Structure 1
């Protein structure tokens, strides 16, 4: 048996952290003496080791608890998955360090393979492993459809990576957001279903604000009046839509939307048809100005 102090020295985990893990039910001592001292045996230290591997991979504590309390939790399988994920993380960091070495030396190196999507694909695999087939089938129709979605992502890796960097700033932030979204998946789907149930009211409210925004296309998109309407539109979406609140769309979500209105043919055609010729360009420029000049713009 080891005392808290010895476990701290061995693992590098602070006494306060061990106490907190005990409080939330993540990692409990093997026994507590009559004097109130926590004691840990070798089995407990193995559990702590597993927890630290999950933390190294940026799993949240609440998710580690759910995973390790799952009756189907397989320690050896978890070790294999953790090893694979840490190897990917190591290789990615090595690639980034090599790229930085070249850049420090003044070499021109327009390489983006270092910003790969491997960690995101692994997050999808972990999601599938920690959810039953029934849950997968409920939201994707079949396990095959979920696998097909993953393969489609892999086949479009370059386009998705470019979108991720534009919308989230980096592949790392994109992966972090997607992990969060996957962890909140069940709650998000419930909220999405609620949104569908109230779709008529939501669409009507959005349409009214878009109509107000495009009521006079001769105005300057950066004018105070137009920007006030843009702020109202963005705040309405960000503030009242529980689905949007629960999903991390990235810091540049509204900036990306402005690009779609300015350059995406499908957006331009549909928007101009509904709100008048030039409406898509007007909306895009108004959103772009808001994102570039107004505080807290572009955050969902």
Structure 2
């Protein structure tokens, strides 16, 4: 058994953070002394190592906890998946380092292959091959899933641009997608919950948008308008929480751009809420995202 201080020295994780892991139920000590001091055995240390692997892939703690507590959790399979993901991350970082070194040496050629979607589509293909039961259950057939992937490949540039705008990088977007596939059963259950309550959701969204666009002469950055956007944000975050999916850090920045540049969005919003409503909503969301 090791004390919490010894574990902290061994792993580089602060004692305070280990206390937090215990508090949220992510990593419990193996036992406690009569005086209440935490002690960690080999099994707890092995779990901590798994947590560190997940953290290296920038997976949020709440998602790590869900994975470790899942009835489908398979330690060996998780290690296999972690190895694959970390290998992909290593390869991508090596490519980026190589590109930077070339630029430092004066190479002026432009290269964008380091930012392609190969890892994203490879993960989808891996899921199709290794999880046929889930593919058939949720997508109808392996063939139907394959058709969806091919359709996405035809929109690769569009998806890549969206991924970078919403998540900051294709890598983060890909990791979020892999996490979604890992938790697909919970996500599909979440969709059913949302489907059963879709009328309430739509009504609330419409009410908030109507309040947001009641007076288009107001300053979109005003506290009054930003408070309504905060309500929208809370509502959408609740949906993502139900789905157990990750919301991109720049979700509202992306929506702001869609409302100001996409003709279909502009037409729908202006027809429903008044001329200039889409631009007003875009500016309000842009202020909020900042």
Instruction: State TM-score, norm by structure 1.
Output: 0.69
Aligned: 1:250 with 2:274? no
- For residue 236 of structure 2, what is the aligned residue in structure 1? 237
Please give the alpha-carbon distance, in whole angstroms, between the structure 2 residues aligned to 1:185 and 1:206: 26
Change (3 A) 1:111 1:213: same
- For residue 228 of structure 1, what is the aligned residue in structure 2? 227
C-alpha deviation, 1:237, in angstroms = 2.3
Change (3 A) 1:109 1:171: farther
Please give the alpha-carbon distance, in whole angstroms, between the structure 2 residues aligned to 1:123 and 1:57: 18
Look up the SS of the partner of 1:98 in the other structure: helix
Look up the SS of the partner of 2:265 in the other structure: helix
Equivalent residues of 2:252, 2:288 under 8 A apart: no
- For residue 147 of structure 1, what is the aligned residue in structure 2? 146
- For residue 184 of structure 1, what is the aligned residue in structure 2? 183
C-alpha deviation, 1:154, in angstroms = 2.5
Deviations 1:32-62 (A, max 9, x none): xxxxxxxxxxxxxxxxxxx9xx979959674
Question: 1:19 pairs with 31, 43, 46, which one?
Answer: 43
- For residue 214 of structure 1, what is the aligned residue in structure 2? 213
- The correspondence of residues 52-201 of structure 1 with structure 2, limited to 5 A, is 62=68, 66-67=73-74, 91-133=91-133, 135-201=134-200
Look up the SS of the partner of 1:114 in the other structure: helix
Question: 1:271 pairs with 253, 269, 272, which one?
Answer: 269
Flag the structure with larger Rg.
Answer: 1
**Root-mean-square deviation over aligned CA pairs:** 3.7
Look up the SS of the partner of 1:19 in the other structure: helix
C-alpha deviation, 1:141, in angstroms = 2.3
Equivalent residues of 2:167, 2:248 under 8 A apart: yes
Equivalent residues of 2:190, 2:243 under 8 A apart: no
C-alpha deviation, 1:21, in angstroms = 6.2
| TM superposition outliers: structure 1 runs of 4+ over 4 Å | 54-61, 67-70, 81-91, 242-245
Deviations 1:194-231 (A, max 9, x none): 10111111100110010000001111211221112112
Change (3 A) 1:105 1:119: same
Equivalent residues of 2:190, 2:242 under 8 A apart: no
Change (3 A) 1:289 1:88: closer
In structure 1, runs of 5+ residues without a counterpart are 1-11, 28-50, 293-300
Change (3 A) 1:86 1:173: closer
C-alpha deviation, 1:178, in angstroms = 0.9
In structure 2, runs of 5+ residues without a counterpart are 1-9, 12-39
Please give the alpha-carbon distance, in whole angstroms, between the structure 2 residues aligned to 1:99 and 1:256: 28
- For residue 280 of structure 1, what is the aligned residue in structure 2? 278
Equivalent residues of 1:89, 1:119 under 8 A apart: no
Residue correspondences, number: 246
Change (3 A) 1:216 1:184: same
Equivalent residues of 1:255, 1:288 under 8 A apart: yes
Change (3 A) 1:17 1:100: farther
Change (3 A) 1:157 1:17: farther
